[in-house]
Structure 1
Amino acid sequence: MRLMPLTAAFLLALAAASPVVVFNKPTKVASDASSPLLLSIHKPQAQGQGQSQGHFAPVVALEESGDDHKKRPPRVNVTAWFESYHRSDDIRQYFLQLADDYRDLVTFVPQLARTYEGREVYAVKIGAKGCESRDKPQVWIQALQHAREWATGTTAQYLAHHFTSRYGKSSNVTKILRAAEIIIIPNMNPDGYEFSWDADRLWRKNRRNNGNGIYGVDLNRNWPDHWGNGGSSTDPDAEDYGGPHANSEPEVRGLVNFFKSQRRVLGAVDLHTHAQLILRPQGYTNASSPHEAEMKHVGDTMAQVIKGVHEMEYTSARLHEVSPLLTSGSTVDWFYSDQAASANGGQRAYSYAFELRPSPEGSEGGKIGFILPIEEVVPLGEEIAAAMEYFVEYIVKNPLKEK
């Protein structure tokens, strides 16, 4: 594993900016294969919608009475959905339609948090209902923690499409959704995401008003595990500003509380761009975690599964191996932490951060790497869907055991 060149390229990518267009042509694969290494390329199917009410209250569909159906927003054109990026309101409507069209699979969970600008952070749960659904192990996937990383949002959308549209058609997906529940938080930083559309395409943080015309906290430095122990800034103007204290941000607080209400999470994945990395604990220290061997095996295998779809090379590594500084207050460490395990019925979760394509080398070392060409959205989704099929299936059979 050549980590030093990778580290240098990764840091260069975060410091420079140069234009590039990267295209990776998908390879032909066998259709309807049970192995996650062999994913079929398929078109999205039509979907429906719903409406949210109440804190953590599940919602499946919009109930009609009288002329209420006339007030419904126009249906999202799911057939062409992955041909463009979408704003927060449209993404929410996409998931409401998904919940309405796949009522036996999808539950929309509203109002996990309200942001500083009043936007909603929500989740969807995907799993076959009735198959002892209240006792199923869970897998947590979240996206758009960093506003500029739009490809993480499309990947979350694609994963939801993949698992719903293939249920009952793919034996592997059907088996997975009968055995487990997948939780997807598709947009955990909607304020920052909207700002990246309207004002600054490369905006990273949320939109907390820090005073003196300075805004934003890096949500991925605000999680309450070893917060402020290095690898984050105390300067409110810095991109990696960790906030005034741990768990200070409504987006993080809401997700921490939602996680604690589940108590069946076996694994968590935080989607980021861009470096083609699969990162595991620990970030706040150079020491390996007690479960290093288990998490390395899963990370290494997910990299192999991804390569088997479109030949994209991902590197599996501990977080501190690719960062010259320690990183504290991150999701990678929190989902694996003592605090999370205690809230999770004593079960410690496999925890990973994915840095999606393109690699720093492919982006010529520039921040343009955060801007994935739309032509790559579906191939990216396909390769991550393959990894998630393996991930869910494996960890359900092999949950971490306390050491």
Structure 2
Amino acid sequence: MRFISLAAFSLAALTAASPVAVFNKPIDVASPPPPSIHKIQGQGQGRHFGPAVALEENGSDDHKKRPPRVNVTTWFESYHRSDEIRQYFLQLAEDYHDLVTFVPHLARTHEGREVYAVKISAKGRGSRDKPQVWIQALQHAREWATATTAQYLAHHFTSKYGKSSNVTNILNSAEIIIIPNMNPDGYEFSWDVDRIWRKNRRNNGNGIYGVDLNRNWPDHWGNGGSSTDPDAENYGGPYANSEPEVRGLINFFKAQRRVLGTVDLHTHGQLILRPQGYTNVSSPHETEMKHVGDTMAQVIKGVHGMDYTSVRLNEISPLLTSGSTVDWFYGDQATRANGGQRPYSFAFELRPSPEGSEGGKIGFILPIEEVIPLGEEIAAAMEYFVDYVVKNPLKEK
């Protein structure tokens, strides 16, 4: 099995953050500072949502108990809690009602929080028949930069529609689905108790919590690279598809039937991963997948000079990986649910590189000044990805 040698990462070469486009003149929403990397003593359950406006797919809303508007002019200067992120997307759906649809209630977590999505596309004639690209974030709680990247992607595609010909053409011809917070229970726990918490917050008994959501997907579940120990970070759950977050997203995916490409955002390592993970055998679409992954790495490098490695998932670890989104979205179950169309499937490991992570754990704590440069390079890759997969859908072999 081949192992990857990644380019060195230099913290001295951080790219300065660029200004964020002004959407409006909102009221500022304060965000608490990130906690220490060290665990806080005691058992914590995180914080539940406060009151929020729910926008249904038809765009109607409830004006009662409307929270203050978020300040998007300073939004990417700090990380944000789950309820603030939700309000950001609700506000986006309101401000860009001709482009953005907020889709609530995809899942209800163990602690009662909501998993939701937004759909971004130019609405109008034919909008319900457009090909779709699926982007999800924050499957692992400690990977905060994935959530900010999802937020930046939504900002990028909405603010550039009608200004960038490429973005305009993309949203006229396709629909982008973004799930910005797959794991709100674990994410809140990573704020309040343990900054490097990975799993969700299933109560496994005996004071042990959590399932690794990216080992719980029902494709070759439990075939390697996951643990049966409930206390392990890569615990795959009591059975495949046991977790409400995974079940909810699978059901939502099955309702789409027009998905041509999927991206699962993770940190860290500067990798673009493609199928397969559960076996050493290359996928039947290895040539097509490699071409797209390699090109996305080149696109990213052209933005701020960051080196990403395009590689198969089964090439980066001495252990195979099973029950992951990379394999599920590419696999037969998703293909049948998707009207027979097999999607391109990738997972991104975002900044920093392993050499810049100071032993590993610090790599999950991306300096806030890198959020916008990271968003810019991934946005460029997603422009290419959406455009390419719509024009070149995978064909069965």
On whether the aligned pair clears a TM of 0.5, the verdict is yes
Structure 1 distance, partners of 2:101, 2:4, is 44
Q: 2:172 aligns with which of 175, 178, 186?
A: 178
Structure 2 distance, partners of 1:131, 1:275, is 41
Checking the alignment, whether the CA contact within 8 Å between 1:115 and 1:121 is kept in structure 2 is yes
Checking the alignment, whether the CA contact within 8 Å between 1:110 and 1:120 is kept in structure 2 is yes
Show the 5 A alignment for 1:195-274.
195-274=189-268
Checking the alignment, whether the CA contact within 8 Å between 2:16 and 2:369 is kept in structure 1 is no
Q: Which residue of 2 aligns with 1:390?
A: 384
Checking the alignment, whether the CA contact within 8 Å between 1:61 and 1:103 is kept in structure 2 is no
Structure 2 distance, partners of 1:147, 1:73, is 25
Query: Is 1:25 matched up with 2:15?
Result: yes
1:136-194 residue CA offsets vs partner (Å, 9 max, x unmatched): 00000000000000000000000000000000000000000000000000000000000
| CA drift at 1:46 | 2.7
Structure 2 distance, partners of 1:338, 1:191, is 30
Checking the alignment, whether the CA contact within 8 Å between 2:103 and 2:118 is kept in structure 1 is yes
Percent sequence identity over aligned pairs:
81
| CA drift at 1:277 | 0.1
Checking the alignment, whether the CA contact within 8 Å between 1:48 and 1:101 is kept in structure 2 is no
Structure 2 distance, partners of 1:191, 1:292, is 36
Checking the alignment, whether the CA contact within 8 Å between 1:23 and 1:376 is kept in structure 2 is no
Q: 2:21 aligns with which of 30, 43, 51?
A: 43
Which 5+ residue runs of structure 2 have no aligned equivalent?
Answer: 28-51
Q: 2:116 aligns with which of 110, 117, 122?
A: 122
1:25-71 residue CA offsets vs partner (Å, 9 max, x unmatched): 259xxxxxxxxxxxx97524238998327xxx51535344xxx4xx3
Counterpart code for 1:52: A
Counterpart code for 2:142: R
CA change 1:147–1:22 in 2 (3 A) is farther
Checking the alignment, whether the CA contact within 8 Å between 1:61 and 1:96 is kept in structure 2 is no
Q: Which residue of 2 aligns with 1:96?
A: 90
Q: 1:282 aligns with which of 264, 267, 276?
A: 276
| CA drift at 1:363 | 1.5
Show the 5 A alignment for 1:3-402.
3-6=3-6, 24-25=14-15, 42-46=20-24, 51-52=53-54, 57-58=56-57, 60-64=59-63, 68=64, 71-402=65-396
SS at structure 2 position matched to 1:201: coil
Structure 2 distance, partners of 1:326, 1:129, is 42
Structure 1 distance, partners of 2:83, 2:178, is 17
Structure 1 distance, partners of 2:224, 2:371, is 34
Counterpart code for 1:207: R
Q: What is the number of residues matched between the two proteins? A: 372
Structure 2 distance, partners of 1:46, 1:104, is 16
Q: Which residue of 1 aligns with 2:47?
A: none
Structure 2 distance, partners of 1:206, 1:131, is 40
Checking the alignment, whether the CA contact within 8 Å between 1:127 and 1:133 is kept in structure 2 is yes
Moved more, 364-373 or 111-120: 364-373
1:257-307 residue CA offsets vs partner (Å, 9 max, x unmatched): 000000000000000000000000000000000000000000000000000
Structure 1 ranges of 4+ moved more than 6 A = 47-50
CA change 1:322–1:211 in 2 (3 A) is same
Checking the alignment, whether the CA contact within 8 Å between 2:54 and 2:62 is kept in structure 1 is no
Structure 2 distance, partners of 1:389, 1:3, is 29
Checking the alignment, whether the CA contact within 8 Å between 1:52 and 1:59 is kept in structure 2 is no
Structure 2 distance, partners of 1:258, 1:299, is 26
SS at structure 1 position matched to 2:178: strand
SS at structure 2 position matched to 1:269: strand
SS at structure 2 position matched to 1:268: strand
1:110-145 residue CA offsets vs partner (Å, 9 max, x unmatched): 000000000000000000001411100000000000
Checking the alignment, whether the CA contact within 8 Å between 1:231 and 1:326 is kept in structure 2 is yes
Counterpart code for 1:298: V
Counterpart code for 2:258: R
Q: Which residue of 2 aligns with 1:17?
A: none
Structure 2 distance, partners of 1:303, 1:44, is 29
Structure 2 distance, partners of 1:44, 1:353, is 31
| CA drift at 1:376 | 0.1
Q: Which residue of 1 aligns with 2:45?
A: none
Q: RMSD between aligned alpha carbons?
A: 2.1
Counterpart code for 2:24: A
Which 5+ residue runs of structure 1 have no aligned equivalent?
Answer: 11-19, 28-39
Checking the alignment, whether the CA contact within 8 Å between 1:143 and 1:272 is kept in structure 2 is yes
Checking the alignment, whether the CA contact within 8 Å between 2:228 and 2:237 is kept in structure 1 is yes
